[in-house]
Chains A and B, each alone.
Chain A
Amino acid sequence: MILRIALALFAVPIAGGLLAGMDRIITARMQRRKGPPLLQPFYDVIKLLQKEATTVNMITRFFTTFSLCFTILAVVLLFTGQDLLLCIFAFTLACVFFVIMGYSGYSPYSFIGAERELIQIMCYEPMILIAAFAFYEVSGSFHVEVVWKLDQPLITRLPLIFLGLMFILTIKLRKSPFDLSMSHHGHQEIVKGITTELTGVCLAMVEITHWFEIIFSLALVYIFFVSSAAYMQVLAVFICLAVYFLEIVIDNVFARVKWKNALKISWIVTGVASLANFVILGLL
């Protein structure tokens, strides 16, 4: 237990930062550029910590900190095999704090970013909750721990739910075509929306929060592939990496969509994928 908590607290941000660094290199290579060093995300964060922190509103820092804390809590809960619903609620609460942080920024860009972040939450939240429900239907418990005891991984019973989840992970990983509120590439103005007013420590915290979010999202993928078999537990890690690579490809291939389309597409995918999967589950 303590080992797992330590893993969630120390190994997760390092793994998340490394993945973010890999992401930037792979993206650069896809655009025929050389790209930054692997440790670039860490350099960025350390630099931000050293820089002057100007805040328009003291409460901004408070909300950013809470957003980070609840994301960490969600990851710790997930890694220690606790209730899946609890993890999702902690994670959602972190997102809500993040939105409030955007609204506390007094800047029209920040407001638009916060609005778009809310829309993104509306896009992905139904699918995450349905996935948790499907998890319960198949495994008979909300406890994440049970996946390590399953004979067959969840993917064999919930393939469509998994596809739906992968679709909304694009939103959560802040990848194009759904990077409406904040993007991780050198885009400008409105696209950096929600972080417009953030400097120094606050911006560093947002970066670290994103590292935890990456791992949280991939851990959800892991849950679908792991089973009691030892080889599946290893294979699932590689599948997570493959999924992340696929997200990078999608990021580079698609142009950003309008928010209305994002909402429509994600709800349609959520509806079709989950309904079809539940029908199949019922027939089996």
Chain B
Amino acid sequence: MVFKMKFIKKSPWILHYDGSSCNGCDIEVLACLTPLYDIERFGAINTGNPKHADLLLITGSVNEQNISVVKQLYEQMPNPKAVVAIGVCAATGGIFKDCYNVQGGVGEVIPVDIYVPGCAARPEAIIEGVVLALNKLERRKSPRKDA
């Protein structure tokens, strides 16, 4: 049975992973949870558990040390899922691109759905990125019903 993921848009649970960011983007991600932006009004929760998450928010580039971690987090998330790369570092490696251990953007390791530009990305931009990722997710069919 073809089944659209209608309710995922109303309840996106978020997993935030810090690759090798300078913590600038991380602070902005956390700022989304504060009273000023309050991303929970869209039903979003910061879970910290890949098995509960629908969206993976990655800040910072991938390096030799965390490639396996990023891959594992992505694989542990149940379908359907989406990845949002936040900041220039997560897109291309950014200012750290030429460092000896940096591999580049998150897209080198796992498929990324939405890139949020900025250094650091503004909370408004992050929320927009999340909303765009949800629009993509909604169009995906539930694998559980397809199987």
Contacting residues of chain B (8-42) with chain A, CB-CB under 8 angstroms = 8, 10-11, 33, 35, 38, 40-42
Is the C-beta of B48 less than 8 angstroms from some C-beta in chain A?
yes
Given the contacts A31-B35, A33-B41, A36-B41, A46 and B7 also touching, CB distance less than 8 Å: yes
Task: Tell me the count of chain A residues lying within 8 A, CB to CB, of chain B.
Answer: 31
CB closest chain-A residue, reference B12 = A47
Who on chain B is nearest to A201 by CB?
B144
CA distance A203 to B45 in the complex (A): 15
Instruction: Say yes or no for B97: interface residue by CB 8 A criterion.
Output: no
**Known A186-B47, A188-B48: A51·B80 in contact at CB below 8 Å:** yes
Bound form: Cα–Cα A53–B38 in Å: 29
User: CB of A197 within 8 A of chain B?
Assistant: yes
Q: Across the two chains, which residue of chain A brings its CB closest to B144?
A: A52
Q: How far is the CA of A37 from the CA of B40 in the complex (A)?
A: 9
Q: A32 on the interface (CB 8 Å rule)?
A: yes
| Contact present for B8 and A47 (CB under 8 Å) | yes
Say whether, besides A47-B8, A50-B7, A186-B40, A192 and B52 are in contact (CB < 8 Å): yes
Complex Cα–Cα for A37 and B143 (A): 27
A128 to B8, CA, bound (A): 39
Contacts of A50 in B (CB 8 A): 3, 5-8, 142, 144-145
Binding site for A on B (CB under 8 A): 3, 5-8, 10-11, 33, 35, 38, 40-43, 45-49, 51-52, 54, 78-80, 142-145
In addition to A35-B38, A43-B11, A200-B78, 16 A-B residue pairs with Cβ atoms within 8 Å of each other are: A33-B40, A34-B40, A34-B41, A36-B40, A36-B41, A40-B43, A47-B54, A50-B5, A50-B7, A51-B54, A51-B144, A52-B80, A187-B48, A188-B46, A188-B49, A192-B48
